[in-house]
Chain A
Amino acid sequence: MADDRDRDKVAVAEFHKKIKEAFEVFDHESNNTVDVREVGTIIRSLGCCPSEGELHDLIAEVEEEEPTGYIRFEKFLPVMTEVLLERRYRPIPEDILLRAFEVLDPAKRGFLSKDELIKYMTEEGEPFSQEEMEEMLSAAIDPESNSIHYKDYITMMVIDEN
């Protein structure tokens, strides 16, 4: 039991360090606050993969009672530590991602046309903004066929990250 607790303590200390470092990158005035619009980036960079809805819930937890547009580190740290300890919002494994693309491609062609991708990403789920859509297209679309071969795309993105 004692060992478990020690291990937990070590884990918490590790998490605290990581959270602090990620937070500091966006703490432009060095006053332990970040703009609320950057919190999503911070959370995701710490290994979590929340949906937009989950992100909003999380932000509500760390915001002040009267939202100021800024998130304070004192509020952010405990909430984020909990998230990491509970391993919430785990990243999506490659194969699950592949299956998601296959759902959108019932004919099993192995690709999605540019228009199809745009339709799904901007009309379904938690729609992309135009900027997000353009950015994804720039890297994903094969200009010759004007389509995205999702299997290759996933492989490329995963390699790129590692």
Chain B
Amino acid sequence: MGSGTSTQHHFAFQNAEKAFRAAALIQRWYRRYVARLEMRRRCTWSIFQSIEYAGQQDQVKLHNFFSYLVDHFTPSSHNERDFLNRIFTEERSPQASETQNCGDYDSIEVPDSYTGPRLSFPLLPDHATALVEAFRRKQRLHARYVLNLLHEARKHLVQLPNINQVSTCYSEEITVCGDLHGQLDDLIFIFYKNGLPSPERAYVFNGDFVDRGKDSVEILMVLFAFMLVYPKEFHLNRGNHEDHIVNLRYGFTKEVMHKYKIHGKKILKLLQDVFCWLPLATLVDEKVLILHGGVSDRTDLELLAKLDRHKIVSTMRYKTRKENKKQAEEKGNANQTGSAGRPSPWFLPQSRSLPSSPLRPSTHKAHRAGRSSSVPCGVPLDPKELSRRVRRSVDLELERCRQQAGFPAIKEKEEPSSSESEVDSDAEEQPQPTPEEWRQVVDILWSDPMAQEGCRANTVRGGGCYFGPNVTERLLQKYHLQFLIRSHECKPEGYEFCHSRKVLTIFSASNYYEVGSNRGAYVKLGPDLTPHIMQFQANKATHTLTMRQRISRVEESALRALREKLFAHSSDILVEFKKHDKDETALLSNQLFHNQQE
């Protein structure tokens, strides 16, 4: 008996041990499998992010290039200066013609055949809900109503302070949403899951409503509609994409023109103004600060509250009118053709005249008069002629660059025959922000948090800064705040805490890079201001995919995107490879390495 049991026990023990070891082996193998998947996911993410931010960085560089030209190129007459100015300045028409423009929507007729939603003002909650429903059914809002709605939205926004003050006394809960980037499905999902806005259900949308996604227009219409219907409970912050220059590159301008064709331009014009009137931040119970990008060690909330936010047309470029005016005066007085005695910058072509370019739709008459189409070389040039040639070639270069950057070509009606008085009146009517004001706004719209202490320039994006936990801490203490909510960065889970949970990133565009790339999220603040995060992924397909399938899909997409980029820049890349550009090769070889592994 005894020996039997002990053999049994021994046998059982052996079996148990074997099972234990077998299980351990399977687990060990499985964990390695998961780790490799995770590595692939990270690499894919890096690729997408690099491509995204590199694009933004390019745009900033391009603008700095232009700004340099404008600042340093001294045309011989104010006509030329004006012409160059207009390349950058989507000039704002003076107040009078602006109201005229907006009044124009009255004249737009809506055909009887139109089956889309019709709006009447003042808007009622039902109208806003109906609008959401209409868009869900893929209807399109007629240009007349778009303009009308934008006009009303602008009227409302103008009265708002730079920093919205919200209190949880009135609404029981506040829901904060991050970037939507034209992804209407996500907005509809949030309203479906969390409930439509109401006096009891306050919402804050933290910028970047447009660009990239295909339904930016519809998102704006819905957001503005609810803002008008529930002005006390529905709040919008400006994001770095609420900017007509950024829109040129990232798809919103295209979307508007495509959807609205002849009326598109008018809509864009009005939008440009509406964007400038969006508040810069929202403060909840004076404790939680919500803004789009982040902060810097110079962030001054008092200054931000006081400045005229309307002056900041675009955070992409800063330029003082005053400087140019001075230049014009100097030029006018001296009637110099400056280039003769001045060293020419590297980017100006050297002393050869260029034939008129088919790219250039210039219609500036005074301009043409002063220009010859081609001048043979070798003739001793008087300063005037040299200057004219230099001007010409710069114009051509500028035009080419502008085309590349996606700027609209200069249209005839944007160029009235020049007159100094007009320029002057322009300058007076459109005061510019001070450099400090401009920097403050750029900082809050473009900055990203980082883990290290300190504050340094955000070289990846080309604007704003990276701010560390100490910067956050100092700001929170200075203004007696509890924490910051910001957006601006896509996160795999749709949200991320950092700086000891003092900074919350909330991003509401799910599947941003690709189906399955990331969740979206929104955050609810209760009366105690504790954040409650809700996640979602607005695509049924992703739910049925396993992790590895999701990662494979996203990976394919990333590789495709990378391949496109490589193809587009193959010559540049060759140059860079020769120079041993570390970053490029590291990224590539990492991916290749993993491809080998796989």
Chain B 159-217 interface residues, beta-carbon cutoff 8 Å to A: none
Q: How far is the CB of A83 from chain B (nearest CB, A)?
A: 14
Partner pick for A21 among B27, B452, B590, CB 8 A cutoff: B590
Q: Are B23 and A26 in contact (CB under 8 A)?
A: no
A92 to B24, CA, bound (A): 12
- CB within 8 Å of A: which of B2-45? 15, 18-36, 38-39, 42-43
**A56 interfacial contact with B, CB 8 Å:** no
Where chain B touches its partner, the secondary structure class is helix
CB neighbours (8 Å) of A127 from chain B are: 27
State A132–B18 Cα separation when bound (angstroms): 22
> In the complex, what distance in Å separates the CA atom of A136 from the CA atom of B33?
10
Whether B23 and A121, one on each chain, are in contact in the complex, defined by CB atoms closer than 8 angstroms, is: yes
Q: Which residue of B lies closest to A94 (CB)?
A: B29
In angstroms, how far is the closest chain A Cβ from the Cβ of B421? 53
- Cβ contacts under 8 Å, B54 to chain A: none
- Contact B19–A104 (Cβ < 8 Å): yes
Chain B contributes a number of interface residues (CB within 8 A of A) equal to 38
Residues of A within 8 A of B39 (CB): 22, 25, 41-42, 45
**Is B46 on the interface with A (CB-CB < 8 A)?**
yes
Given contacts A103-B22, A139-B546, contact A97 B29 (CB under 8 A): yes
- Are B27 and A45 touching (Cβ within 8 A)? no
Task: List residues 558-598 of chain B with CB under 8 A from any CB of chain A.
Answer: 586, 589-590, 593-594, 597-598
CA A153 – CA B35 in complex, angstroms? 18
Residues of B within 8 A of A121 (CB): 23, 26-27
The reply on A73 being an interface residue by CB < 8 A is no
Chain A neighbourhood of B25, CB < 8 A: 92, 96-97, 100, 125
| Cα A161 to Cα B597 with chains together (Å) | 8
Tell me the minimal C-beta distance from A144 to chain B in angstroms.
15
**Which of A18, A136, A161 is the one whose CB lies under 8 Å from B598?**
A161
Of the listed stretches A3-11, A46-54, A57-65, A74-82, name the one at the interface; the rest are far from the partner chain. A46-54
A92 CB, min distance to chain B CBs, angstroms: 5
Residues of B within 8 A of A26 (CB): 42
Task: Kindly provide the distance from the CB of B212 to the nearest chain A CB, expressed in whole angstroms.
Answer: 24
Closest B residue, CB atoms, query A160: B548
Task: List B contacts of A51 (CB < 8 A).
Answer: 24, 27-28
**In the complex, chain B residues whose CB is within 8 Å of the CB of A42:** 39
Note all chain B residues with C-beta closer than 8 A to A161. Answer: 33, 36, 598
A68 at the A/B interface (Cβ < 8 Å)?
Answer: no
Residues of B within 8 A of A120 (CB): 19, 22-23, 26
Question: Is B450 in contact with chain A by the CB < 8 A criterion?
Answer: yes
Docked-complex contact A101 and B26, CB < 8 angstroms: yes
Chain A 67-111, CB within 8 Å of chain B: the 1/0 string? Answer: 000000000000000000000000110001101110110100000
Complex formed: what's the CA distance from A41 to B36 in Å? 7
Which one of B28, B46, B597 has the greatest number of beta carbons of chain A within 10 Å?
Answer: B28
Contacts of B547 in A (CB 8 A): 135, 138-139
Pull 28 A–B residue pairs with CB atoms less than 8 Å apart, ordered by A: A22-B39, A25-B39, A25-B46, A28-B451, A42-B39, A44-B31, A44-B36, A45-B38, A48-B32, A49-B32, A50-B28, A52-B27, A92-B29, A96-B25, A97-B29, A101-B26, A103-B19, A103-B21, A103-B22, A104-B26, A120-B19, A124-B19, A124-B23, A125-B26, A125-B27, A135-B546, A160-B548, A162-B598
